[in-house]
Amino acid sequence: MAVMGAFHFNEGIPISNSLLLLLLLLLLPAYVSPPLSLPIKPPPFRHSFHKLPHSQNYPLSNPSPAPPLLLLFLLHSGSGTMEHSSLSLLFHLLTLATYVSARPATFLQDFRITWADSHIKQLQGGTAIQLTLDQSSGCGFASKSQYLFGRVSMKIKLIPGDSAGTVTAFYLNSNTDRIRDELDFEFLGNRTGHPYTVQTNVYTRGKGDREQRVNLWFDPAADFHTYSILWNHYHAVFFVDEVPIRVFKNNEARGIPFPKSQPMGVYSTLWEADDWATRGGLEKIDWSKAPFYAYYEDFDIEGCAKPGPESCASNPNNWWEAPAYRQLSAIQARKYRWVRVNHMIYDYCTDKSRYPVTPPECTAGI
Protein backbone atom coordinates (compact mmCIF):
# COMPACT_ATOMS: atom_id res chain seq x y z
CA MET A 1 0.00 0.00 0.00
CA ALA A 2 2.86 2.34 0.71
CA VAL A 3 4.09 1.67 -2.79
CA MET A 4 0.69 2.33 -4.24
CA GLY A 5 0.42 5.63 -2.42
CA ALA A 6 3.33 7.07 -4.28
CA PHE A 7 1.53 6.55 -7.55
CA HIS A 8 -1.98 7.28 -6.47
CA PHE A 9 -3.97 9.59 -8.66
CA ASN A 10 -5.79 12.46 -7.21
CA GLU A 11 -7.43 15.35 -8.87
CA GLY A 12 -4.46 17.63 -8.36
CA ILE A 13 -1.97 15.54 -10.32
CA PRO A 14 -2.56 15.63 -14.06
CA ILE A 15 -1.22 12.61 -15.90
CA SER A 16 -1.75 12.99 -19.58
CA ASN A 17 -3.25 10.40 -21.82
CA SER A 18 -0.16 10.36 -23.94
CA LEU A 19 2.04 9.48 -21.00
CA LEU A 20 -0.22 6.57 -20.17
CA LEU A 21 -0.31 5.48 -23.77
CA LEU A 22 3.46 5.50 -23.83
CA LEU A 23 3.57 3.38 -20.69
CA LEU A 24 1.08 1.00 -22.22
CA LEU A 25 3.07 0.59 -25.38
CA LEU A 26 6.21 -0.04 -23.41
CA LEU A 27 4.66 -2.60 -21.12
CA LEU A 28 2.27 -4.47 -23.32
CA PRO A 29 4.75 -6.44 -25.45
CA ALA A 30 6.30 -8.05 -22.39
CA TYR A 31 2.94 -9.53 -21.49
CA VAL A 32 1.74 -10.79 -24.81
CA SER A 33 4.78 -11.75 -26.81
CA PRO A 34 4.77 -15.38 -27.90
CA PRO A 35 7.55 -17.68 -26.77
CA LEU A 36 10.42 -18.19 -29.15
CA SER A 37 10.33 -21.92 -28.96
CA LEU A 38 8.07 -24.62 -27.63
CA PRO A 39 8.92 -25.08 -23.97
CA ILE A 40 8.28 -27.79 -21.45
CA LYS A 41 6.38 -28.74 -18.24
CA PRO A 42 5.81 -31.56 -15.61
CA PRO A 43 2.93 -33.19 -13.41
CA PRO A 44 2.51 -36.18 -10.95
CA PHE A 45 0.75 -39.45 -10.22
CA ARG A 46 -2.14 -40.94 -8.36
CA HIS A 47 -2.03 -43.06 -5.22
CA SER A 48 -0.17 -40.40 -3.45
CA PHE A 49 -2.56 -37.54 -3.74
CA HIS A 50 -5.03 -38.98 -1.35
CA LYS A 51 -2.38 -39.04 1.32
CA LEU A 52 -1.45 -35.41 0.89
CA PRO A 53 -2.61 -32.80 3.31
CA HIS A 54 -4.82 -30.38 1.51
CA SER A 55 -4.10 -26.81 0.74
CA GLN A 56 -3.64 -25.23 4.08
CA ASN A 57 -3.08 -21.59 3.48
CA TYR A 58 0.28 -20.49 4.67
CA PRO A 59 0.97 -16.83 5.04
CA LEU A 60 3.44 -15.70 2.44
CA SER A 61 6.53 -14.32 4.03
CA ASN A 62 7.69 -12.17 1.10
CA PRO A 63 4.87 -10.67 -0.87
CA SER A 64 6.07 -10.11 -4.38
CA PRO A 65 6.18 -6.58 -5.73
CA ALA A 66 3.15 -5.69 -7.79
CA PRO A 67 3.89 -5.74 -11.52
CA PRO A 68 3.64 -2.41 -13.28
CA LEU A 69 0.41 -3.33 -15.04
CA LEU A 70 -1.23 -4.10 -11.77
CA LEU A 71 -0.10 -0.75 -10.42
CA LEU A 72 -1.60 0.99 -13.39
CA PHE A 73 -4.83 -0.87 -13.00
CA LEU A 74 -5.07 -0.03 -9.34
CA LEU A 75 -4.32 3.56 -10.17
CA HIS A 76 -7.12 3.50 -12.60
CA SER A 77 -9.66 1.96 -10.29
CA GLY A 78 -8.72 4.46 -7.63
CA SER A 79 -9.35 7.44 -9.85
CA GLY A 80 -13.04 8.00 -9.66
CA THR A 81 -12.82 11.41 -11.24
CA MET A 82 -11.12 10.41 -14.45
CA GLU A 83 -13.07 10.61 -17.63
CA HIS A 84 -14.22 7.39 -19.20
CA SER A 85 -12.79 7.89 -22.59
CA SER A 86 -10.00 6.39 -24.56
CA LEU A 87 -8.10 6.07 -21.32
CA SER A 88 -10.65 3.67 -20.00
CA LEU A 89 -10.34 1.58 -23.13
CA LEU A 90 -6.59 1.49 -22.73
CA PHE A 91 -6.90 0.26 -19.22
CA HIS A 92 -9.25 -2.46 -20.27
CA LEU A 93 -6.72 -3.59 -22.81
CA LEU A 94 -4.06 -3.50 -20.15
CA THR A 95 -5.99 -5.61 -17.71
CA LEU A 96 -6.97 -8.00 -20.47
CA ALA A 97 -3.31 -8.49 -21.26
CA THR A 98 -2.62 -9.53 -17.70
CA TYR A 99 -5.05 -12.45 -17.94
CA VAL A 100 -2.92 -14.13 -20.55
CA SER A 101 -0.18 -14.27 -18.01
CA ALA A 102 3.43 -14.24 -18.99
CA ARG A 103 6.60 -15.62 -17.47
CA PRO A 104 6.64 -14.85 -13.79
CA ALA A 105 9.85 -13.49 -12.46
CA THR A 106 9.46 -14.99 -9.02
CA PHE A 107 7.89 -18.00 -7.39
CA LEU A 108 5.53 -15.95 -5.25
CA GLN A 109 4.19 -14.01 -8.18
CA ASP A 110 2.20 -17.01 -9.39
CA PHE A 111 2.45 -19.61 -6.62
CA ARG A 112 1.76 -20.13 -2.96
CA ILE A 113 2.98 -22.77 -0.54
CA THR A 114 0.28 -25.32 0.24
CA TRP A 115 2.15 -27.76 2.46
CA ALA A 116 4.99 -27.26 4.95
CA ASP A 117 6.17 -23.69 4.68
CA SER A 118 9.28 -24.67 6.60
CA HIS A 119 10.30 -27.12 3.86
CA ILE A 120 10.25 -24.69 0.93
CA LYS A 121 13.07 -22.20 0.73
CA GLN A 122 13.26 -19.37 -1.77
CA LEU A 123 16.59 -18.90 -3.48
CA GLN A 124 18.08 -16.28 -5.77
CA GLY A 125 15.64 -13.57 -4.77
CA GLY A 126 12.64 -15.88 -5.13
CA THR A 127 13.37 -16.90 -8.71
CA ALA A 128 14.21 -20.44 -7.61
CA ILE A 129 13.11 -22.68 -4.75
CA GLN A 130 14.44 -25.62 -2.79
CA LEU A 131 12.00 -28.32 -1.70
CA THR A 132 12.91 -30.52 1.24
CA LEU A 133 11.75 -33.98 2.23
CA ASP A 134 12.78 -35.31 5.62
CA GLN A 135 11.26 -37.63 8.17
CA SER A 136 9.08 -34.87 9.55
CA SER A 137 7.49 -33.78 6.26
CA GLY A 138 7.43 -33.37 2.52
CA CYS A 139 6.10 -30.16 0.99
CA GLY A 140 4.05 -28.70 -1.83
CA PHE A 141 3.00 -25.59 -3.67
CA ALA A 142 0.22 -24.51 -6.04
CA SER A 143 -0.55 -21.74 -8.47
CA LYS A 144 -2.65 -18.88 -7.16
CA SER A 145 -4.86 -18.97 -10.27
CA GLN A 146 -6.38 -21.68 -12.38
CA TYR A 147 -5.94 -21.80 -16.14
CA LEU A 148 -7.93 -23.04 -19.09
CA PHE A 149 -5.54 -24.02 -21.90
CA GLY A 150 -1.99 -22.78 -22.29
CA ARG A 151 1.40 -24.06 -21.36
CA VAL A 152 3.04 -24.62 -18.00
CA SER A 153 6.73 -25.25 -17.71
CA MET A 154 9.37 -25.42 -15.01
CA LYS A 155 12.99 -26.34 -14.70
CA ILE A 156 13.55 -29.01 -12.10
CA LYS A 157 16.65 -30.61 -10.64
CA LEU A 158 15.63 -33.79 -8.91
CA ILE A 159 17.01 -35.42 -5.75
CA PRO A 160 20.51 -36.74 -6.41
CA GLY A 161 22.04 -40.07 -5.37
CA ASP A 162 19.82 -42.48 -3.51
CA SER A 163 16.31 -41.12 -4.13
CA ALA A 164 14.48 -44.46 -3.91
CA GLY A 165 11.02 -44.14 -2.37
CA THR A 166 10.70 -40.42 -3.08
CA VAL A 167 8.24 -38.89 -5.50
CA THR A 168 8.40 -35.42 -6.98
CA ALA A 169 5.19 -34.45 -8.74
CA PHE A 170 4.16 -31.69 -11.09
CA TYR A 171 0.59 -31.59 -12.37
CA LEU A 172 -2.49 -29.72 -13.45
CA ASN A 173 -5.70 -30.50 -11.58
CA SER A 174 -9.22 -29.12 -11.83
CA ASN A 175 -9.96 -29.94 -8.19
CA THR A 176 -13.46 -31.04 -9.04
CA ASP A 177 -13.54 -34.43 -7.36
CA ARG A 178 -15.69 -36.83 -9.38
CA ILE A 179 -15.39 -34.99 -12.65
CA ARG A 180 -11.76 -34.12 -12.13
CA ASP A 181 -9.52 -33.36 -15.06
CA GLU A 182 -5.83 -33.85 -14.41
CA LEU A 183 -2.54 -34.00 -16.30
CA ASP A 184 0.25 -35.51 -14.19
CA PHE A 185 4.00 -35.80 -14.23
CA GLU A 186 5.46 -37.87 -11.40
CA PHE A 187 9.16 -38.47 -10.96
CA LEU A 188 9.85 -41.71 -9.15
CA GLY A 189 13.23 -41.84 -7.42
CA ASN A 190 15.60 -44.77 -7.56
CA ARG A 191 18.70 -46.29 -5.99
CA THR A 192 21.99 -44.65 -6.92
CA GLY A 193 22.96 -45.52 -10.47
CA HIS A 194 19.48 -46.68 -11.46
CA PRO A 195 17.27 -44.59 -13.70
CA TYR A 196 14.59 -42.18 -12.54
CA THR A 197 11.16 -43.07 -13.89
CA VAL A 198 8.69 -40.46 -15.12
CA GLN A 199 5.12 -41.54 -14.79
CA THR A 200 2.38 -39.64 -16.57
CA ASN A 201 -1.35 -39.94 -16.16
CA VAL A 202 -4.39 -38.26 -17.66
CA TYR A 203 -7.78 -37.84 -15.99
CA THR A 204 -10.74 -36.66 -17.99
CA ARG A 205 -14.05 -36.07 -16.28
CA GLY A 206 -13.06 -38.25 -13.33
CA LYS A 207 -11.63 -41.14 -15.34
CA GLY A 208 -7.92 -41.80 -14.85
CA ASP A 209 -5.94 -45.07 -14.68
CA ARG A 210 -4.02 -44.12 -17.80
CA GLU A 211 -0.48 -44.48 -16.51
CA GLN A 212 2.53 -44.54 -18.76
CA ARG A 213 6.15 -44.80 -17.60
CA VAL A 214 9.35 -43.70 -19.23
CA ASN A 215 12.84 -44.11 -17.78
CA LEU A 216 14.83 -40.91 -18.20
CA TRP A 217 17.76 -41.13 -20.60
CA PHE A 218 19.84 -38.68 -18.56
CA ASP A 219 20.57 -38.02 -14.91
CA PRO A 220 17.83 -35.53 -13.91
CA ALA A 221 19.66 -34.71 -10.69
CA ALA A 222 22.88 -33.57 -12.37
CA ASP A 223 21.31 -30.50 -14.00
CA PHE A 224 18.07 -28.61 -14.42
CA HIS A 225 15.82 -29.91 -17.17
CA THR A 226 12.60 -28.42 -18.45
CA TYR A 227 9.34 -30.27 -17.92
CA SER A 228 6.23 -28.88 -19.53
CA ILE A 229 2.63 -29.48 -20.48
CA LEU A 230 1.10 -27.91 -23.54
CA TRP A 231 -2.68 -27.95 -23.42
CA ASN A 232 -4.93 -26.63 -26.17
CA HIS A 233 -8.14 -27.62 -27.96
CA TYR A 234 -6.27 -30.21 -30.01
CA HIS A 235 -4.22 -32.18 -27.51
CA ALA A 236 -2.32 -32.24 -24.24
CA VAL A 237 1.40 -32.93 -24.70
CA PHE A 238 3.95 -33.74 -22.01
CA PHE A 239 7.51 -32.66 -22.76
CA VAL A 240 10.85 -33.49 -21.20
CA ASP A 241 13.09 -30.77 -22.58
CA GLU A 242 12.25 -30.70 -26.28
CA VAL A 243 11.10 -34.32 -26.35
CA PRO A 244 7.37 -35.12 -26.28
CA ILE A 245 6.94 -38.15 -24.04
CA ARG A 246 3.17 -38.30 -24.14
CA VAL A 247 0.34 -37.04 -26.30
CA PHE A 248 -3.31 -37.17 -25.29
CA LYS A 249 -5.28 -36.19 -28.30
CA ASN A 250 -8.67 -34.55 -28.40
CA ASN A 251 -10.76 -37.46 -29.65
CA GLU A 252 -14.11 -36.08 -28.61
CA ALA A 253 -15.39 -36.82 -32.08
CA ARG A 254 -14.89 -40.50 -31.17
CA GLY A 255 -16.69 -40.10 -27.86
CA ILE A 256 -13.56 -39.85 -25.69
CA PRO A 257 -13.79 -37.02 -23.15
CA PHE A 258 -11.12 -34.34 -23.43
CA PRO A 259 -10.38 -31.73 -20.74
CA LYS A 260 -11.70 -28.49 -22.17
CA SER A 261 -14.28 -26.93 -19.94
CA GLN A 262 -12.70 -26.90 -16.50
CA PRO A 263 -9.76 -24.66 -15.60
CA MET A 264 -6.91 -26.38 -13.80
CA GLY A 265 -4.47 -25.23 -11.14
CA VAL A 266 -0.75 -26.02 -11.28
CA TYR A 267 0.59 -28.09 -8.40
CA SER A 268 3.82 -29.61 -7.23
CA THR A 269 4.72 -31.81 -4.30
CA LEU A 270 7.66 -33.73 -2.93
CA TRP A 271 6.82 -36.63 -0.67
CA GLU A 272 7.64 -40.14 0.45
CA ALA A 273 5.84 -42.99 -1.29
CA ASP A 274 8.06 -45.99 -0.70
CA ASP A 275 5.07 -48.31 -0.55
CA TRP A 276 4.78 -48.13 -4.35
CA ALA A 277 7.20 -45.78 -6.06
CA THR A 278 10.43 -47.68 -6.62
CA ARG A 279 10.35 -51.15 -8.12
CA GLY A 280 6.74 -51.39 -7.03
CA GLY A 281 7.56 -50.66 -3.37
CA LEU A 282 10.43 -53.14 -3.00
CA GLU A 283 12.99 -50.37 -2.56
CA LYS A 284 12.45 -48.42 0.64
CA ILE A 285 13.50 -44.88 1.37
CA ASP A 286 16.87 -44.61 3.12
CA TRP A 287 16.32 -41.96 5.76
CA SER A 288 20.01 -41.93 6.62
CA LYS A 289 20.41 -40.00 3.34
CA ALA A 290 17.81 -37.37 4.36
CA PRO A 291 17.14 -34.51 4.02
CA PHE A 292 16.38 -34.87 0.32
CA TYR A 293 16.38 -31.75 -1.83
CA ALA A 294 14.83 -30.91 -5.20
CA TYR A 295 15.21 -27.55 -6.94
CA TYR A 296 12.86 -25.59 -9.22
CA GLU A 297 13.38 -22.50 -11.31
CA ASP A 298 12.08 -20.69 -14.41
CA PHE A 299 8.44 -20.90 -13.46
CA ASP A 300 6.43 -20.21 -16.55
CA ILE A 301 2.68 -20.30 -16.91
CA GLU A 302 1.05 -18.92 -20.01
CA GLY A 303 -2.66 -19.50 -20.27
CA CYS A 304 -6.13 -18.13 -19.74
CA ALA A 305 -6.36 -17.38 -16.04
CA LYS A 306 -9.57 -17.91 -14.13
CA PRO A 307 -11.17 -15.72 -13.06
CA GLY A 308 -10.72 -13.79 -16.27
CA PRO A 309 -12.56 -12.97 -19.45
CA GLU A 310 -14.64 -15.89 -20.68
CA SER A 311 -13.57 -15.24 -24.23
CA CYS A 312 -9.89 -15.93 -23.56
CA ALA A 313 -10.01 -19.73 -23.64
CA SER A 314 -11.85 -19.86 -26.96
CA ASN A 315 -9.70 -17.21 -28.63
CA PRO A 316 -8.03 -18.88 -31.63
CA ASN A 317 -5.35 -16.19 -31.56
CA ASN A 318 -3.78 -17.52 -28.38
CA TRP A 319 -0.32 -18.65 -29.43
CA TRP A 320 -0.78 -22.16 -28.02
CA GLU A 321 -3.72 -22.71 -30.40
CA ALA A 322 -1.69 -21.81 -33.49
CA PRO A 323 -1.32 -24.42 -36.26
CA ALA A 324 2.25 -25.22 -35.18
CA TYR A 325 0.93 -26.38 -31.80
CA ARG A 326 -2.01 -28.44 -33.04
CA GLN A 327 0.01 -31.53 -33.76
CA LEU A 328 3.59 -32.68 -33.34
CA SER A 329 6.02 -31.45 -35.94
CA ALA A 330 7.88 -34.10 -37.94
CA ILE A 331 10.92 -33.67 -35.70
CA GLN A 332 8.84 -33.92 -32.54
CA ALA A 333 7.07 -36.99 -33.86
CA ARG A 334 10.44 -38.62 -34.49
CA LYS A 335 11.58 -37.84 -30.91
CA TYR A 336 8.31 -39.14 -29.54
CA ARG A 337 8.75 -42.45 -31.39
CA TRP A 338 12.35 -42.65 -30.17
CA VAL A 339 11.23 -42.33 -26.54
CA ARG A 340 8.49 -44.88 -26.92
CA VAL A 341 10.74 -47.42 -28.60
CA ASN A 342 13.79 -46.96 -26.39
CA HIS A 343 12.68 -45.66 -23.01
CA MET A 344 9.08 -46.55 -22.35
CA ILE A 345 8.78 -49.23 -19.68
CA TYR A 346 5.03 -49.27 -19.12
CA ASP A 347 1.94 -48.33 -21.08
CA TYR A 348 -1.58 -48.97 -19.81
CA CYS A 349 -2.61 -49.22 -23.47
CA THR A 350 -0.78 -52.52 -23.83
CA ASP A 351 -1.47 -53.88 -20.34
CA LYS A 352 -3.82 -56.73 -21.26
CA SER A 353 -4.20 -57.92 -17.68
CA ARG A 354 -5.64 -54.53 -16.75
CA TYR A 355 -7.39 -53.78 -20.00
CA PRO A 356 -8.39 -56.92 -21.92
CA VAL A 357 -10.13 -54.54 -24.30
CA THR A 358 -7.75 -51.79 -25.43
CA PRO A 359 -9.03 -48.38 -24.23
CA PRO A 360 -10.43 -46.42 -27.20
CA GLU A 361 -8.01 -43.46 -26.88
CA CYS A 362 -5.12 -45.89 -27.39
CA THR A 363 -6.24 -46.79 -30.88
CA ALA A 364 -7.37 -43.35 -31.95
CA GLY A 365 -3.90 -42.21 -32.99
CA ILE A 366 -1.81 -39.40 -31.68
Ligand X SMILES: *[C@@H]1O[C@H](CO)[C@@H](O)[C@H](O)[C@H]1NC(C)=O
Segments of 310-366 assigned E as strands: 344-347
Residues carrying an active site annotation: 182, 186
Minimum distance from residue 93 beta carbon to ligand X (Å): 49
* Long-range contacts formed by 22-27: CB under 8 A, 24+ apart: 23/68, 23/72, 24/72, 24/90, 24/93, 24/94, 27/68, 27/69, 27/72, 27/94
Question: 147 or 185, CB closer to ligand X?
Answer: 185
Q: In the chain, which ranges are continuous DSSP H helix? A: 2-7, 17-32, 68-78, 86-99, 107-110, 330-342, 360-363
Minimum distance from residue 339 beta carbon to ligand X (Å): 15
* CA pair distance 168, 188, nearest whole angstrom: 7
Please, which of residues 213-232 interact with ligand X by CB under 6 A? 215
Residues 211, 349 contacting (CB under 8 angstroms): no
Question: 158 or 304, CB closer to ligand X?
Answer: 158
Question: 188 or 240, CB closer to ligand X?
Answer: 188
Residues 40, 242 contacting (CB under 8 angstroms): yes
The residue within the footprint of ligand X, chosen from 197, 201, 212, 232 (CB under 6 A), is 197
Please, which of residues 265-324 interact with ligand X by CB under 6 A? 277-279
CB-based closest residue to ligand X = 194
Minimum distance from residue 42 beta carbon to ligand X (Å): 15
Closest listed residue to residue 208, CA positions, set 182, 231, 175: 182
Q: Total binding residues for ligand X by CB under 6 A?
A: 10
Minimum distance from residue 346 beta carbon to ligand X (Å): 9
Please, which of residues 58-117 interact with ligand X by CB under 6 A? none
What type of residue is 320? W
22 is an interface residue for ligand X by CB under 6 A:
no
Question: Rounded to the nearest 5 degrees, what angle is found at the Cα of 188, between the Cα atoms of 184 and 189?
Answer: 150
The residue within the footprint of ligand X, chosen from 345, 350, 360, 363 (CB under 6 A), is 345
195 is an interface residue for ligand X by CB under 6 A:
yes
Please, which of residues 175-194 interact with ligand X by CB under 6 A? 188, 190, 194
Minimum distance from residue 213 beta carbon to ligand X (Å): 7
Question: 30 or 345, CB closer to ligand X?
Answer: 345
160 is an interface residue for ligand X by CB under 6 A:
no
Question: 49 or 258, CB closer to ligand X?
Answer: 49
What type of residue is 29? P
CA quadruple 215, 220, 225, 230: dihedral, nearest 10: 30
The residues binding ligand X (CB under 6 A) are 188, 190, 194-195, 197, 215, 277-279, 345
